[in-house]
A = this chain, B = another copy of it.
Amino acid sequence: MSSRNIQVEPMRRLAVEDQAVEIVERKGVGHPDSICDGVAEHVSEALAREYLDRVGTVLHYNTDETQLIAGSTAPAFGGGEVTTPIRLLIVGRATREYDGTTIPTETIALKAAREYLGTQIPELDFGSDIVVDVELGEGSGDLREVFGESGRQIPMANDTSFGVGHAPLTETERIVRSTERRLNTEYASDHPEVGTDIKVMGKREGDRIDVTVAAAMIDAHLEDMAAYRTSVREMREYVHELARELTDRSVTVHVNTADDYEEGAIYLTTTGTSAEQGDDGSVGRGNRANGLITPNRSMSMEATSGKNPVNHIGKIYNLLSTEIADRVVTEVDGIREIRIRLLSQIGQPIDHPHVADGAVVTESDVSLDEIEADITAIIDEELANITALTERVIAGELATF
């Protein structure tokens, strides 16, 4: 048995799926906060890869303070225009000099941001609809040294912090997540009028689920109000269909409920994101590491996106606890819900958290004793293998928001 401080205990509350009221939210990839998360994380991956290429080790950096300042537009059926550009400022720290090698951190960041935006938010014309700048300082002396050691060693935690993960997702959570994901991929490929800024709110009271979608519609692909109304109706039907695949509960779908057709007050945009019209954004203000905002569940305030995946313990533990929870419910039967919490101690190896704590709601016919050892073993194994997670983050294999 390992030397790790792993505790598994019963949850002593109802599984979220069984609670009376549940609230879930997801901000889509084009939401101003998500744009910041996405750019920050993409920049982070690019920096990590360049550091590995150039000096063989990931140097200190964090790019998690990216800030978006909204622009303004004049939307119009058939195609409006951007009247004031959106500004995106990538803020953070990154080591520029190592052993005689200069790493062009700001250039790397700008290229990564341009690439990300070009792929994910292609409606924004880079350099005119959105201006991206970067200000990467250098960290304090202490921080710069952290990674001076050989990459083989287990890094030390940079802070006293914690991460938390849950599994499985509830029906409402899966509906909310799928709604945004599928609208922004499958559905959008046939419906170019759907912007990337899709915000989905799920509320369940008992067995009634309300799904509320706020979707920024793109003016160039809508010729008039009738087309807009048709598009909203089709989206509602699509989401309803989608939800019914995921639940037997009763589902009601609302799309752009704040619209007032009489007044002509509708959610029409030129670029498909509310960033064009006064909605600012920043990293870490939106979705948690599992892609959702879940007030029924324990959450960490840590911004996961943009953080260094080598020793930033808040990032690593949030991602790892989610991975562990997923793996436990996949491999161990009889679990209705599990929550994994990992608490670090500053300066200690990250594979030895201060405490790794699993709280479990078992199925009614299962006792925790029967499965505790299996759960503990998985937690232990995942912690032993913690640096693999860093590699997957650098490779861009893990979503952070």
Contact = CB atoms under 8 A, between A and B. Distances in A.
Nearest to A139: B278
A295 B164 contact: yes
Q: How many identical subunits does the complex contain?
A: 4
A93 interface: yes
Contacts of A298: 295-297
A84 B127 contact: no
A400 to B, nearest CB: 15
A334 B307 CA distance: 45
A171 interface: no
A211 to B, nearest CB: 11
A199 B85 CA distance: 35
A285 interface: yes
A303 B278 CA distance: 16
Interface string A87-127: 10101110010000011101100110010000000000011
Size range of the chain A interface in the assembly = 35 or more
B93 A74 contact: no
B343 A92 contact: no
A365 B298 CA distance: 28
Contacts of A367: none
A382 to B, nearest CB: 19
Contacts of A103: 83
Interface stretch (A8-16, A175-183, A226-234, A237-245): A8-16
Contacts of A391: none
A138 interface: yes
Contacts of A209: none
A81 interface: yes
Given A65-B280, A72-B137, A84-B106, 6 more contacts: A23-B341, A74-B102, A74-B104, A85-B106, A87-B133, A110-B128
17 contacts: A9-B20, A11-B13, A12-B13, A65-B281, A83-B96, A85-B107, A85-B110, A85-B134, A110-B131, A127-B127, A127-B132, A139-B278, A160-B212, A162-B295, A203-B354, A258-B347, A295-B299
